[in-house]
């Protein structure tokens, strides 16, 4: 039982994500959360396994974001792959700008010392749930 739980996505995270997409008055049963937890964990294993196989064939030991996006596309989840690629590029751009700022010794508070290059917003602001919700309720 303990080994199986270690392989699962934390149920608190699953519940939080489920609450984001549902109306505020909706209640979520423990059974529903556990079912989604198992499904999400299986999906992650499925995609990661495909990415890992690709890396093994290429004699690489590290799975990266591009491998995950390739696996999503390879498994027929093209829509997810496109969204994940955009997010991955945005994340890399954010990290690149932050690294450049750190090299120059700039803090987030040093507005006057910034170059013309404006730091992109944090990548976590890219909220796919908002998009899904808009599509679903419009």
Whole-number Å distance between alpha carbons of 76 and 79: 9
Q: How far apart are CA 126 and CA 86, in angstroms?
A: 10
Residues of the chain with confidence (pLDDT) below 70 = 1-6, 107-138
Per-residue confidence (pLDDT) for residue 35, from 0 to 100: 97
CATH 1.10.20.10 in the chain is located at 1-76
| Locus of tokens 């602001």 | 125
Return the CATH number of the domain spanning residue range 1-76.
1.10.20.10
Token pair for residue 89?
Answer: 């590029």
Predicted pLDDT at 131: 52
Within 8 A by CB and 6+ apart from 9, the residues are 37, 40, 41, 44
Instruction: For residue range 84-121, list pLDDT tens digits in order.
Output: 999 999 999 999 999 988 888 876 555 554 444 454 55
Contacts of 47 (CB under 8 A, 6+ apart): 68, 71, 72, 75, 77
Q: Which of 64, 44, 47, 45 is nearest to 55 (CA)?
A: 64
Q: Which pLDDT score, from 0 to 100, does residue 4 have?
A: 57
State pTM to two decimals: 0.68
* pLDDT on residue 137: 53
Distance between CA atoms of residues 78 and 66, nearest Å: 13
């Amino acid at each position: 039982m303990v080994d199986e739980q270690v392989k699962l996505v934390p149920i608190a995270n699953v519940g939080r994500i489920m609450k984001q997409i549902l109306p505020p008055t909706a209640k979520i049963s423990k059974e529903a959360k556990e079912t989604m937890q198992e499904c999400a964990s299986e999906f992650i294993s499925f995609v990661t396994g495909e990415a890992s196989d690709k890396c093994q064939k290429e004699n690489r030991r590290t799975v990266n974001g591009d491998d995950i996006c390739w696996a999503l596309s390879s498994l027929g989840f093209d829509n997810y792959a496109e969204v994940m690629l955009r997010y991955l590029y945005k994340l890399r751009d954010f990290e690149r700008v932050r690294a450049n700022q750190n090299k120059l010794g700039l803090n987030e508070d040093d507005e006057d010392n910034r170059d013309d290059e404006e730091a992109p917003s944090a990548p976590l602001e890219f909220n796919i749930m908002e998009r899904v919700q808009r599509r679903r309720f419009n």
